[in-house]
Amino acid sequence: MQYTRLGRTALQVSRLCLGTLNLGVNLPKPDSFALLDTALDEGVNFVDTADQYGWQVHRGWTEELLGEWFAQGGRRREKMVLGTKVFTPMSDWPNEGGLSARHIISACEASLRRLGTDWIDLYQMHHVDRSAPWEEVWQAMELLVQQGKVRYVGSSNFAGWHLVAAQEAANRRHFLGLVSEQSCYNLVRRHVELELIPAAQAYGIGVVAWSPLHGGLLGGALRKLAEGTAVKTARGRAMNAMPTLEATVGEYEQLCGAHGLDPAEAAMGWVLSRPGVTSMVIGPRTEEHLRGALRTLEQELDPGLLEELEKLFPPVGNGGPGPEAWAW
C-alpha cells in the first residue's frame, strides 16, 4: 500500500480510500464486513462515510454498520482514519441539516454514537452552506476539536473560492481549518482542474477524488451493458452521460484493450496520476473490484496512453488552471 500525508498535516492516509455507499445496501452486512477486513488486511487505512449514507434503509445506517465492524475488535478502529460528513438534512424538521453551529455539534455527537467511537479523524462538510457565516462554522468545529471529538476538518463538493473563504476565516481565528477537499474528479468530469485543485495546492489542502469511474461509465460500461452484467452503470451518473458520450466511451474501451488494460483500472490510474490528488475514494461491491483498485497502485500508465486519453477526454477550456484555461 502507498501512503501519503493528508494535505499539509502529518496524518498518513492510504492512496485508496474505501467509500461506503454500497455497504449494507448493495452488499449484505456479512459481505460488507468481509470487504472491510480485506481492505484493512491490504493496508487501506482510510475509510469514508457520511451521516446520511444508508438512507435507503434509514439515515445513519452506514455509520451504524461501521460501528458494528469496529466493535469486533482487532484494533480496527485504531488502525483506520475515519472520515464522515455533515450537512445533509437528517429529517424534514428545521435545524437538522446545514452547517449551523447547532447542527454541526449535534450531528457530530449523533455520528459518534452510531459509529461507537470517541473521535472522528476527518469531519467533512458535505456541501457548502451559503447561509452559514464562516465564523459560526469554525466556532462549532473548534469546539469539537477542543473536546477531542474531531481531529481534522475537511470539505466536500466545494468550489475553489469556497476553500479560500473558509481557510482565510480559519486563519483569522488561528485555527488549522481545512485539511482536505473531497471532489468529483475523473476523465469525464475535470472541472476541478480550473480553480479547485490550484486553490487546494496553494493552501495545503489535500484533494480526495470521488467517482473516479463516473458512476461506472469508465469501468467497461458498454461491454457490461451488452453482456447484461451492468449494475451501477445502468443507472445514475453513468446513464445520464451515456447518450452524449457513447461513441467516446467505445473508443476508450478499445484503447484500453489495445494497451492490455481493464478500463476501470486505467481510469483509476489516471486519477491517481493527477497533480494535487492525495487519495481516491473507491466503492467496491466485490473483492475483485477491490483487487482491481489495488492493482492501480502497481502500474504506471504509458505516456502514449496518457496522450490518447487527453485527446478522448480533453480538459475544460484550454487546459490547466484558470485564468489561462479560458483566457490568453
What amino acid positions are annotated as catalytic residues?
A: 53
Closest CA to 184 of 217, 220, 161, 156: 156
**What is residue 113's three-state secondary structure?**
helix
Whats the size of the chain, residue-wise?
Answer: 328
The phi and psi torsions of 293 (rounded to 5 degrees) equal -65, -40
Q: Smallest Cα–Cα separation from 293: which of 306, 284, 303, 302?
A: 284
DSSP at 315: P
Closest CA to 201 of 23, 320, 88, 72: 320
Spatial contact of 205 and 163, defined as CB atoms under 8 Å apart: yes
Q: Is 117 exposed, middle or buried (0-12, 13-18, 19+ CB in 10 A)?
A: buried
Q: At which residue does the C-alpha cell 501519503 appear?
A: 4
Residues 23, 25, 31, 33: is their CA dihedral positive or negative?
positive
Amino acid at 79: K
Q: Which residues have a Cβ under 8 Å from the Cβ of 26 and sit 6 or more positions away?
A: 231, 285
Neighbours of 42 (CB within 10 A): 17
Rounded Cα distance between 16 and 35, Å, is 14
Q: How far is CA 22 from the centre of its chain?
A: 14
Q: Is 277 helix (H, G, I), strand (E, B) or coil?
A: strand
Rounding to the nearest 10 degrees, give the CA dihedral for residues 220, 31, 79, 268.
0
